[in-house]
Amino acid sequence: MLAYRFGPASPAPSAPPFAAATASAQSEASEWGLKRLPVSAAILVVAARRCRPARRCPLSARAASATWQELRQTPPTEAKACAGWGCRCGDGPYAYQTSEDFKNHPAVRSLTAWCRSWGLPPIETTALDPEGYRTRGKMPVGPGGSGPVVGLFKRSTWKVVPVAGCAANHPRLVAAVESIEEAVRANGVRAFDHDGAARFALRQQALRFVELTLERRSGLVQLVLVWNGTKQASPQLEGLVERLWAEGRYHSIWVHWREPSPRLLRAIHSKTPEAWEQVRPKEGSGYVVERLDGLDFAFGPASFQQANLQVFERVLQDMKASLRQLLREKHHDKLRLLELCGGVGVIGLSLAHALKEEVSHLSLVSTDQNPNCAKLFCENAKQVEGEISAEFAAMSATEALSALSDADVLILDPPRRGLAAAQQRARLLGGQEEAAAIRNSSVWAVIYMSCGHDSFMADASRLLAGGAFRLLELRCYDMFPYTSHIESLGIFLRQREPADLSKDVQEEPAQQTPAPVQKMQCQFLIGINQDRDFNVRQRLLGDRGHNMKLIASATGAKLRLRGRGSGFKEGPRRVESRDPLMLCISSTDEEKHQEAVRLVRELVEDVYEQYSAFQQSRGQEADCQVQIHEGPRPGSRT
Ligand SMILES: C[S@@+](CC[C@H](N)C(=O)[O-])C[C@H]1O[C@@H](n2cnc3c(N)ncnc32)[C@H](O)[C@@H]1O
């Protein structure tokens, strides 16, 4: 177990009334209600933050603690690679150091606020060692400067940035990535152009993704090469497989023949079983076997596997303890488990195996919409043969809920969107029908494991609606260290039978929906007129916006240059605003906001120094002072 600790919160800067330095600035000062930090306070804030001990991912370490001068030296790929992973380690709220401090993770805070609004008990949190936790990773392959690279998509783009050496990956995955990059280059394998025009990219035989899974007991890596093309001989692919297999680090090598169809352009792979081919070894099972809390489970490349097995085992143990306790309290003699989104049956089979002594008859029906899970489920269920009755059905969660209504306990582990159907993912609107089916079923307990805290709150609110269920426990796990994601486990117990529930249960009572995310905003008033000689706009933005991108990727804040000389056209008439030139910052996290303000302050002070030198060279003086307006930009809609 690793100890974490959040750094001390930065002291809130005092903000004495601003005395504007120039006549024009003075006239704008009252209109803007300007505030300014005294220099001594600013230095204290910066000094306190630099002393803060924080656990950092090597890739973003520089960006997270750097001064503006250091940050601007950072090669763009270094900062972007980490951001592309969704990784914000060492950067504000994800830089915690104790398990207790994991309570301050933004997602845990959201869930805590949600619990409070329902009058629920406090959340329990668990954080384990974050280094090398990831034993499975799907990574795109894309063109790079000196040949194909294996990495991650840069956020909001289809460009692949390398992630060699990322501390979140298990060292054996890190070594495998390096070996693949070398072998790909040596064999002249083309990288798929994810960013290119579909009609050209799809025509080429090329490597699209690699999927790596470490088998912990053997230390070997199962490799899937996702190949753009139909099953046909490719000397490059054959050469690549040959070379990689000879290295001895691979458990098995598979090719996923990726149908070159525009419909599937962006997906990693299709679920069609025939598309997967085990190419090494040519005989025998290429399945990875993992021992999880006392049972062995076989996983295939075409079915889901949790990326953080250590934490997953902890979740399994907590589930078992909670359900055992419930069974003892309720004196049930029979237990019918229904598992939705069950993958290869790890949770259902684990619970069934652990609880078989508690009841005289135990049955499990496990379901998942991925048909590739069926064979592996049967393989895994052999361990409990004779102890319990276990079956698998390939069906969606929605189908399972309407087809199988006589379960006692429901096990749910949906994808990040929760119970909502895929097309409603972004708006968290789906899931009502599924939740209603659960409320109106025979189910007396729901074990809900979730990797999407916002969809969990939406689904859980619907289970609690009308008092159908009550939430007995809510636990949060640091399943994806360094990122904004967490895993949660909710144990729900029936409180009212379907017959007692009102037909028109209020779905989401207004007072119980999660509070809207608060936005922190401020504007730096620049006080220098834009002209071609000094070009303050270019100096602030950097080459093609490089300065803004660096600060945004280091802090997650949004930065916008607005007003006279910004070049940004706004409003219905699409004209540049008459407001003074200003650099606007907005963030949804206070600590990150302070970090962005600090970096922008240093950038602006740097530009002021350049301006002073520029004016001196023309025999003039410049007296620029940092001017900050806190809150929303006057006249803006938020
Ligand atoms: C987070 S995984 C959990 C898998 C499993 N519980 C485990 O721990 O290995 C989510 C699973 O949901 C399945 N899935 C996604 N959408 C689904 C849907 N609409 N209906 C049923 N299963 C779905 C996926 O195939 C995947 O196996």
SS3 string, 31-94, reads HHCCECCCHHHHHHHHHHHHHCCCCCCCCCHHHHHCCHHHHHHCCHHHHHHHHHCCECCCCHHH
Angle at the Cα of 489 from the Cα atoms of 485 and 490, rounded to 5 degrees:
130
Residue with tokens 């690793």: 2
- Closest ligand 1 atom to residue 339 Cα is 6
With a 6 Å cutoff on the Cβ, whether 342 touches ligand 1 is yes
Q: Whose CA is nearest to atom 24 of ligand 1?
A: 341
Residue numbers in the known binding site for S-adenosyl-L-methionine are 306, 368, 413
Residue numbers in the known binding site are 306, 368, 413
The fold for domain 23-95+517-607+623-630 equals Ribosomal Protein S8; Chain: A, domain 1 (3.30.1370)
Segment 374-423, tens digit of pLDDT: 999 999 999 999 889 999 999 999 999 988 768 999 999 999 889 886 65
Domain ranges of the chain: 23-95+517-607+623-630, 136-290, 308-512
Angle at the Cα of 507 from the Cα atoms of 501 and 510, rounded to 5 degrees:
125
> What is the helix (H) or strand (E) element at residue 629, kind and residue range?
strand 627-630
Known catalytic residue at 115: no
Ligand 1 probe mutation, 138, 312, 350, 369, most atoms within 8 A of CB: 369
- Measured in Å, residue 50 CA sits from the centre of ligand 1 at 43
Architecture of the 136-290 domain:
Beta Barrel (2.40)
Confidence of residue 197 (pLDDT cuts 50, 70, 90): low
Taking a C-beta distance cutoff of 8 angstroms, is the pair 380, 297 a contact?
yes
CATH 3.40.50.150, applies to 308-512: yes
Lowest mean pLDDT among 107-111, 428-432, 574-578: 428-432
Segment 323-380, tens digit of pLDDT: 999 999 988 889 999 999 999 999 999 999 999 999 999 999 999 999 999 999 999 9
- Counted residue by residue, the chain has a size of 638
- Measured in Å, residue 343 CA sits from the centre of ligand 1 at 5
Marked catalytic residue, from 166, 451, 584, 624: 451
CA 358 – CA 335 distance, rounded (Å): 9
- The token duo for 175 is 């070594």
With a 6 Å cutoff on the Cβ, whether 413 touches ligand 1 is yes
Does residue 260 have a cis peptide bond before it, meaning omega lies within 30 degrees of 0? no
- Closest ligand 1 atom to residue 399 Cα is 20
Answer whether 136-290 and 308-512 agree in fold.
no
Res 9 pLDDT > 80: no
